[in-house]
Amino acid sequence: MSYICADACFVIALSDPRDGYHDRALQIYEEYLENSANVLFLPWPAIYEAVSTRAARNPTYLARLRANWNTLQSLGRLELLDDSPYRDQALDDSFINPSPSRRKPVHLSAADRVIRSMIADGSLRLDALISFNYSDFADVCAVRKCVVID
């Protein structure tokens, strides 16, 4: 069993057939989540991005999101990650220090900064990250030896 964190882009692509990564998201879901014993860790910021105002107005999207959510929850393989230990630093980094771990500034959302901090936190067991934004997480995942599934 592996513990896999997901970025919002995966959750959105999985639930939206119009998304360019939808087919890949379905493959990842089937291989790594639906047909395995892996646990999906969803950070709250990813949930906020996936259930945005725009998404909330799309009942078909919400139904797909809810179906996948219910499947994993009923199997006991969905855990929500509390972001409270990471969000103050993520916000500070967004305004003060655009890229604490890189030489040049990188434009990352506060949600991505929280996820990066979670990956860097050695006390959280994370074996992999699902994201279609490899470059946003490659450095921190390499240090942590956390596989990026894209």
Residue ranges per structural domain of the chain: 3-148
Instruction: Give one DSSP letter per residue of 67-92, joined into a string.
Output: HHHHHHHHTT-EEEEP-HHHHHHHHH
pLDDT 10s digits, 48-105: 999 999 999 999 999 999 999 999 999 999 999 999 999 998 888 888 755 555 554 4
Predicted confidence at residue 98, as pLDDT, reads 55
Distance CA 125, CA 90 (A): 20
Contact 40, 79 (CB under 8 A): yes
Predicted confidence (pLDDT) per residue in 123-149, tens digit: 999 999 999 999 999 999 999 999 999
- What CATH homologous superfamily does 3-148 map to? 5'-nuclease (3.40.50.1010)
Burial-class residue 60 by CB neighbours within 10 Å (0-12, 13-18, 19+).
Answer: exposed
What percent of the chain clears pLDDT 90, i.e. is strictly above it? 82
